[in-house]
Amino acid sequence: MIEIGLHPGPTETVEPACDPDRALAAVARKRMVPIVLIVVIVAITMAYSLFWGPLIDHTAWITPGDLWGTFHTAQFVAWGDIGDVYSSGGGLVSLPGISVVLAPAALLVSHLGLVVGFPFALPHPSAWLVLGPYQAALGAIVLIPLDALAEELAMGHRARVMSSICEAVALWPVLALWGHPEDSMAMAFAVWGLLAALRGRWRSAGWLCGLALVMQPLVVLMLVVFLAMAPKREWPKLAVRSALPTAALVAIPLVQSWRHTTTALFKQPNYPTIDHPTPWMALAPVLTKTHSIEVKHLGERTLPGGATHFAISIVHTVAGETVAAGPGRLIAFAVACLLGVYVYRYRPSQEQVVWLCCVALSLRCVFEAVMNPYYLWPPLAIAFVLVVRNRWRLGLAVVSSAGLTWWSYRHLGPWVWWVPVVTLLALVVAAAKPAQSTHGLAVEGPRPGHIEASRAPVDALL
């Protein structure tokens, strides 16, 4: 486990932390701001989903549609059938870590006999009362390692509070509107891995990288950068630890449903008629062309005698084309590798490494063939760790992020949509760029007098 507390000064003495309750209380006090923000995110998410529709729009509960498909795959895991997570019809196109994490909620939903909003959209799916707060809390945990990263970079308390608030505001749509806690959970493990790397704890960094990748492979762009700091002798062990969680969870689906698993993981179909196509669509392979389909709808009908019953009706409609990610992701990964080479050769400072991670995460938004607004959150999260040192940089980042968020929800042509998005994102990343330093990267190794005192709070928290 990585340490999240502050390093003691050279004249400080550290008492061994043997009481888990006291250790947990110490961590809670240190991370009080992100913990409070986690509670706020859960509360606002549930208030919005349960009350906005019925009270404002006079409609049903507002629940993120993407999440129900993912939750359906978690039900398969809860039933002991992880081999069919990709053939279940849930539309999972990422690694199955999120299906495993959501499985406890699926078990509870099954035990209570609650109704899920899949495959039919229901106005009041009772399972949301369990799934909603659970996924929001899991997704918001990323605020804790982001605060620890700000502390590692010697940010003051006021700057850390402002950073956490900005990150929470940007995170809320990812969880409440889109229902993608896997993205923020992957970032949580990746940031914890970055902290471990900055302290020279390569074993922890390797395992945390593995947990990040099995949640959402997008973080590989960031991992390439900070793992370049590792000594060459650690590279094979880091590679093995990073790959083991994915290999363990994907092995059974590959054997049991090879075609569905490989299609989901290697082609990763996306829908340009629904989402935001970018100019890189020109290079994206077309998986299926526009075609007519039959869609089943569950509806309530009133009989002549006044009784009502539910029936399934068939609706003929047209499905848009489906495309694969295309060479854009390969280009993003290649550029991230170049950033890793720079880190390996020139050993930049810790702040510069963190900023290069922000740049690497931004590459996905630049080169993706089909974009969604929530793809923008990972680089914004890292940027808000760095911009709080300067009031003007913070102001530029906040204004640019607000404009970026607003524009990302508009449906326009590829070039008209993509150019402002990339420009505004570049402004945020530029605002986060730290000053040049003549000091090389200082990677700390474990210190015997410090590890035992710090490990208990971290184990209690994680």
Q: How confident is the model at residue 323 (pLDDT cuts 50, 70, 90)?
A: confident
Question: pLDDT tens across 117-148, in order?
Answer: 888 788 899 999 999 999 999 999 999 999 99
* Ranges of H-type helices in 377-441: 377-386, 391-408, 414-431
Q: Are 361 and 221 in contact (CB under 8 A)?
A: yes
Range 206-222 average pLDDT: 94
**The pLDDT value given to residue 282:** 87
* Average pLDDT along the chain: 85
More confident residue, 55 or 430: 430
**The pLDDT value given to residue 4:** 40
Between CA 243 and CA 235 the distance in angstroms is 12
Q: Tell whether the model's pLDDT for residue 353 goes beyond 90.
A: yes
Residue 236 contacts by C-beta under 8 Å, 6 or more apart in sequence? none
More confident residue, 125 or 453: 125
| N-term to C-term CA, the chain | 8
**The pLDDT value given to residue 5:** 40
Between CA 382 and CA 262 the distance in angstroms is 31
More confident residue, 440 or 101: 101
Q: Tell whether the model's pLDDT for residue 404 goes beyond 90.
A: yes
Q: pTM here?
A: 0.85
- With a pLDDT cut of 90, the percent of the chain lying above it is 65
Q: Tell whether the model's pLDDT for residue 309 goes beyond 50.
A: yes
Q: b or e along 433-458 (b: 16 or more beta carbons within 10 Å of the residue's beta carbon)?
A: bbeeeeeebebeeeeeebeebbbbbb
Q: Tell whether the model's pLDDT for residue 443 goes beyond 60.
A: no
Question: pLDDT tens across 8-45, in order?
Answer: 444 444 444 457 777 777 877 888 999 999 999 999 99
More confident residue, 304 or 425: 425
Question: pLDDT tens across 411-435, in order?
Answer: 899 999 999 999 999 999 999 999 7
Q: How confident is the model at residue 448 (pLDDT cuts 50, 70, 90)?
A: very low
What is the identity of the amino acid at 37?
L
**The pLDDT value given to residue 321:** 75
Q: How confident is the model at residue 294 (pLDDT cuts 50, 70, 90)?
A: low
Q: Tell whether the model's pLDDT for residue 296 goes beyond 70.
A: no
**The pLDDT value given to residue 56:** 84
